Amino acid sequence: MIIFLIAILIVTGAALSPVHAQSWQLPTDAQRCPSKWGAADERGSGNHMKPETVLRAVRLIRTGEVFELGRVLRPDMPFSPGRKYFMEMKRTTMNAGRNRRGSNEEIVYTELGQVGAQFDGFAHQTIGDSLYNCNNPAEISTRTGFTKLGVQNVGTLMTRGVLIDVAALRGVEMLPDTYPITVDDLQRALQRQKVTLQPGDAVIINTGWGRLWDTDGARYLKTNPGLTTAAAEWIAKQDPMLIGADNGPVGVTPDPDPQLSNPVHQIALVVNGIHLLENLKLEELAGKQVYEFALILQPLKIQGGTGSTVAPVAVR
């Protein structure tokens, strides 16, 4: 009898505190290293980029319609704390010569790897003092860049893109401020859209939150709907080339577990070596119900960089 009562208490407790029951735990080093791509691997999910991947993407281009998913770089766009973007147009130089050639150029000061629509590389995040594939920052970080894992290694990514429109699944243009996207949400959305994921895909989540980028930057940054740790882990199991979203952190912010700070970033970048793509503009893609497309992005080759601002497109 007592055992029975205890059992009931345990079950009730679990039911009442879902967080504690499913608390995400940091994997141990042994659990995540070496990477499935090899002990010396620096490329992570970028290893999916092969000629076949390009062809797979190309096959999805039927009309040549291009959707710009990137952001205009301007000083007043939303920034994660501490970041900025400034551009100063230099004075015009009139060159010598009878052709009266005037030249204009600008100087830019910004966290070039982490502003606008941004692509994260593997030097960006750590678990304690450990990076992707258990690289040690103390050994590979310098004042002018990381000697391994730098974003200059990525190159153009061109692959099949799949939009998982969770907002549409929930019948809204924009999910609520801290809506936690579950595995169930993802699976039902894919079902509804009649699309399945394949290894090497660019998995793009539409939350609708990107609509705030131009209209309410403060709200855009304060919290956001996004993936739960479980949802992120489920996507990771689908072996994608990258996970993208129309928000900054990709993961729901704040995470339901108040003791966790953006764990989805760690799940993707540190644990699984999967690239992230953030702050996308998805209204058009979602509005036209474009669920399958060629995704193309070109991270700048910032030597030793943690990531790159990008201007990606979806093409169909």
Binders of a second copy in range 38-77 (CB under 8 A) = 49-55, 58, 61, 63-66, 68, 70-75
Residue 271 carries which DSSP code? I
Chain-centroid distance, C-alpha 104? 34
How open is the CA angle 114-42-68, to the nearest 5 degrees? 40
- Binding-site residue total for a second copy (CB under 8 A)? 97
Window 255-294: residues binding a second copy (CB under 8 A): 259-263, 265-266
Q: Which is nearer to a second copy, 154 or 203 (CB)?
A: 154
Q: Which is nearer to a second copy, 166 or 200 (CB)?
A: 200
For a second copy, the binding residue among 28, 31, 102, 215 (CB under 8 A) is 102
> Can residue 17 be called a binding residue for a second copy (CB under 8 A)?
no
CB of 131 to a second copy, least distance (A): 9
Contact (CB, 8 A) for 124 and 113 = yes
> Can residue 110 be called a binding residue for a second copy (CB under 8 A)?
yes
Specify the 3-state DSSP secondary structure of 141.
strand
Instruction: Considering only the stretches 3-11, 89-97, 200-208, 211-219, report the one whose residues sit in contact with a second copy under the rule CB under 8 A.
Output: 89-97
Specify the 3-state DSSP secondary structure of 202.
strand
Interior/surface letters 12-26, b for 16+ CB within 10 angstroms, e for the rest? eeeeeeeeeeeebee
> Can residue 34 be called a binding residue for a second copy (CB under 8 A)?
no
**How many whole angstroms separate alpha carbon 219 and alpha carbon 177?**
9
For a second copy, the binding residue among 22, 47, 152, 182 (CB under 8 A) is 152
- How far CA 97 is from CA of 90, 91, 100, 288, in Å, comes to 21, 18, 6, 52
Window 111-150: residues binding a second copy (CB under 8 A): 111-114, 116, 123-129, 137, 141-146
**How many whole angstroms separate alpha carbon 116 and alpha carbon 112?**
9
Window 201-230: residues binding a second copy (CB under 8 A): none
